[in-house]
Chains A and B, each alone.
Chain A
């Protein structure tokens, strides 16, 4: 049979064989190794990505943990502050009470001292008065003529009226 366009089945089969050799050869020599390398690199970067994601997750977890701890510490600080304020308040009150007690004691002591001083002064005054009275009596007893004294006194009074 005369096939148009000079189509030759034997040559078509030879071309098929040629293409089969080319496909196999290029697959084993180029396509497969290059693709394998690309897959290896992709796996490498995926692995790096996964590692980075893991580290990020770990960092997030640690951050959350520290934030929780920080929140706890703040609460602790708050409690400690309240406790310290209470202690300071109590101490101040104690000191105040102590100071008041001391003040009372000082006042009582001062009052007692004053009383004691007053009594002593009174005693000394009475003693002085008695002494003066005794002196006056003694002087009266040893004085000159009462009449001339009377006169002197009288003259002295006149002079004063003038």
Chain B
């Protein structure tokens, strides 16, 4: 008991010493003000990263490639090591994989009962991309900008280009469903929802960017960097990772089902 108290006191002292050290040491001075930092988080026109020396891209582009690489690597590992060992009575990992695949497959079947094969595969990958991409910002991976300063890699979809790409790609997938099922009529049905790519893109962008801005703001000030990030950084990120995944996949499946429904002449 005495030893336990001693350990606790030591731990608290270490924390207080580190806090005092952090506050007293001070920072070498910021390269940018909070307005500049937040403006750059939206526009990405200052901190850019060189893509293999070919082109300067937004940090979100690097995040997107990293997320894809991580997902494909994990998928390859699962394909090689886990899937061949699947049993009729599933274990924990198998159950998780089956539930994830089954969730998107069921979503596709339910919302688009006439045509769901490709839709299931697309919303599965889009869902995985949004979910893992949003959680990716929690890792706080660093990259070096073209100016030689480090920058934390953000969630890919907090980059407007990534959000537009995913929104328009989802719209094109919906259009392809309409064309395949109903030909020219399907095109008409899809074009009727002309606001869809914009709403999908900017919904994603807005949701992810707001998270990024709040996190940026919180970390900008040292005195806000204790305890608060646990709530705004982790819980909010996890929550909107789930919500945005659900919203985009559900909307895509819903509109896909609507335009691919055989027309009754």
Contacts and interface: CB of A to CB of B under 8 A. Distances in A.
Interface of A: 5-8, 10-16, 18-19, 21-23, 25-27, 29-35, 37-38, 41, 44
27 contacts: A6-B45, A7-B160, A8-B58, A11-B61, A11-B159, A13-B165, A15-B156, A15-B161, A15-B165, A16-B165, A16-B168, A18-B68, A19-B169, A22-B72, A22-B129, A23-B122, A23-B125, A29-B76, A29-B79, A30-B101, A31-B101, A32-B121, A34-B101, A35-B120, A37-B98, A38-B98, A38-B102
A31 B128 CA distance: 11
A5 B121 contact: no
Given A10-B55, A18-B68, A29-B79, A23 B121 contact: yes
A27 B124 CA distance: 8
Given A26-B124, A31-B121, A18 B65 contact: yes
Chain B interface mostly = helix
A29 B88 CA distance: 20
B155 interface: no
A26 B83 contact: no
B44 interface: yes
B135 interface: no
Given A22-B68, A30-B78, A35-B101, A15 B166 contact: yes
B42 interface: yes
A7 B43 CA distance: 8
B86 interface: yes
Contacts of A12: 161, 164-165, 168
B43 A6 contact: yes
B57 interface: yes
Interface of B: 42-45, 55, 57-58, 61, 64-65, 68, 71-72, 75-76, 78-79, 83, 86, 88, 97-98, 101-102, 104-105, 120-122, 124-126, 128-129, 156, 159-162, 164-166, 168-169
Nearest to B78: A30
Contact of B105 (A15, A23, A33, A35): A35
B144 to A, nearest CB: 19
Given A7-B161, A37-B86, 5 more contacts: A5-B43, A15-B156, A16-B168, A26-B75, A30-B101
Contacts of B168: 12, 16
A27 B64 contact: no
A21 B65 CA distance: 10
Nearest to B58: A11
Nearest to B120: A31
A77 B230 CA distance: 87
A18 B72 CA distance: 11
A34 B57 contact: no
What 9 pairs between A and B have smallest CB-CB spacing?
Answer: A15-B165, A29-B75, A23-B125, A11-B161, A26-B125, A27-B121, A34-B101, A30-B75, A29-B79
A10 to B, nearest CB: 7
B125 A22 contact: yes
A127 to B, nearest CB: 121
Nearest to A44: B88
Contacts of A27: 121, 124-125
A19 B75 contact: no
Contacts of A30: 75, 78-79, 83, 97, 101, 124
